[in-house]
A and B are shown apart, each in its own frame.
Chain A
Amino acid sequence: MAWQWFHRLGSPRWFFDKTSPWVFWLGLVSLSMLLFGAVWGLMIAPSDFKQGNSYRIIFIHVPGAIVSMAGYYVMAICGAIGLIWRMKLSFMVMKSVAPIGAVLTFVGLVTGAIWGKPTWGTWWEWDARITSMLVLFFLYLGIIALQEAYRQQDAADKTCAILALVGMVNIPIIYKSVDWWYTLHQPATLKLTEASSISPSMAYPLIFMIVAFYFVFAWVVLLFTRLEVLKREKKTRWVQELVAARV
């Protein structure tokens, strides 16, 4: 009985009905968190004594980069669930995460470049973290391209799931290799286990923004997945009734 909810998740219709009220509330919470965090980070937090106000891009850069990496794992885990339990819904989440993750990775890269110009004096530097983010971006693009290449949705889902899992095994290896290859990027300033090297007055809004980005990510994934449900189930009666009721 305890597993009933899990099996129900296999039904796209059940998922669509259950999450309908979430869309509004999750959207409201995530957007207001984003707004609050942005005001806190961009206006209230003190400016850096070396970098002045330019450091404030950290409140977009770091959350974007962190969530983009987490997104790949979400995608791969969804792919694994889909392959193991043959759960269609899981594949839909996987497909929805890919473009969002790619956009977040792109945001991380672009804000990094904008931040790099005043701080390091260059837009682009072949440094370890930038390069591994770029590789992550290509991994996302590969998943999207493979998804688009197949006409049959079933084959697209399963092949993408395998590719995502292969990528998941490779990400730590790529990350470590590139790290070994060259390092210029500052080491991570937020640490869970030891004291952070960032002032609390800056750290709290940063942590808040990371959480806000996770919420926004969850909200957009939910929206994309619901759209995917409608697209794939468009021939079923419940979707046609739903659409007819709206028009």
Chain B
Amino acid sequence: MIELPGLGHLLGQTLRREFTIGFRNRGDLANPIIFFLCIIVFVPLGVSPQAEVLQILGPGIIWIIALLATLLSLDRLFQSDFEDGSLEQVIVSGQPLYWVVLVKVFVHWMITGLPLTLLAPVLGLMMSLPAEGYWPLIISLFLGTGALSLIGSIGAALTVALRRGGLLLSLIIMPLYVPVLIFGSAAVRNAIDGFAITGQLATLAAFLVLALVLAPLAAAGALRISVSS
């Protein structure tokens, strides 16, 4: 009987490994952020450069682009581990897959969701977002991108065995993003209009907690199926 190392050791090692891999692939690291910045250019070009129009569109557009950036970066989440067989090793090792998935998603969020959140005020500036909207934008994205990464990890796990899973991943995950988008953009808009936003932020936090508990379970189940088939 081989003694398995403790959970803390597992988490620490996985965290270190994921960060190392994440920072070695510099391209993957920057792409979602560049995408985020690129798309924002299309809004004034495609709709109108007038400040009044951008002001109305701003909160929703920034939220939608953050959502898409998260979604597009997700298909690499388990891909390389699946291809080189390390995912299989993790599964046969007998370690709880739930925690491994959670750590992987956390690192994914650290290198995509968190930079997007921190960049959001710059985009707000470009969309002439009123000053009251900045903090709500940052807080709602902080809570929301976490939930987006977690929910998206289910889709990434479901499609990992497919060669061209990217578009399919978006198709199956988008409907599940609806509630997060509604409450996220509503928080920013309400703040601009001078209403209370604690309700929206609390709901976003609730989504995050629910996703923290359930999403890694579903993703772990999907990974087991993908690996065994």
Contact = CB atoms under 8 A, between A and B. Distances in A.
Nearest to A170: B176
Contacts of B225: 155, 158-159, 162
A75 to B, nearest CB: 14
A163 to B, nearest CB: 6
B214 A150 contact: no
Interface residues of A, number: 30
A49 interface: no
Interface stretch (B65-73, B87-95, B155-163): B155-163
Interface stretch (A12-20, A176-184, A228-236): A176-184
Interface stretch (A25-33, A61-69, A89-97, A137-145): A137-145
A146 B179 contact: no
Interface string A141-175: 11101100110101100110011011101100110
Given A159-B158, A170-B176, A174-B175, A145 B182 contact: no
Interface in A42-83: none
B229 interface: yes
Nearest to A158: B225
A1 B162 CA distance: 42
A152 B214 CA distance: 27
B178 interface: yes
A79 B225 CA distance: 14
Contacts of A180: 182
Interface residues of B, number: 25
Interface string A97-113: 00000000000000000
A94 to B, nearest CB: 14
Contact of A149 (B162, B174, B178, B221): B162
- Best-buried of A142, A166, A169, A170 by chain B (most CB within 10 Å): A166
B222 A165 contact: no
A162 B158 contact: yes
Interface string B161-185: 1100100100110111011001100
Contacts of A135: 175, 178
Interface string B202-229: 0000010000001000100110011001
A154 B182 contact: no
B178 A178 contact: yes
B158 A146 contact: yes
B168 A145 contact: yes
Main secondary structure of the interface of A (DSSP, over half): helix
Nearest to B221: A162
B175 A155 contact: no
A134 to B, nearest CB: 9
A143 B222 CA distance: 14
B148 interface: no
B229 to A, nearest CB: 4
B25 to A, nearest CB: 26
B191 interface: no
B182 A181 contact: yes
A170 B183 CA distance: 15
Given A142-B171, A162-B218, A149 B176 contact: no
Q: Which of B168, B171, B172, B218 has the most CB of A within 10 A?
A: B172
B154 interface: yes
Interface centre among A145, A159, A174 (most CB of B within 10 A): A159
Nearest to B174: A138
A138 B221 CA distance: 23
B179 A155 contact: no
A135 to B, nearest CB: 5
Contacts of B218: 162, 165-166
B182 A177 contact: yes
A139 B175 contact: yes
Nearest to B206: A173
Contacts of B175: 135-136, 138-139, 142, 167, 170, 174
Contacts of A138: 171, 174-175
Contact of B179 (A136, A142, A174): A174
Interface of B: 154, 158-159, 161-162, 165, 168, 171-172, 174-176, 178-179, 182-183, 186, 207, 214, 218, 221-222, 225-226, 229
Interface of A: 135-136, 138-139, 141-143, 145-146, 149-150, 152, 154-155, 158-159, 162-163, 165-167, 169-170, 173-174, 176-178, 180-181
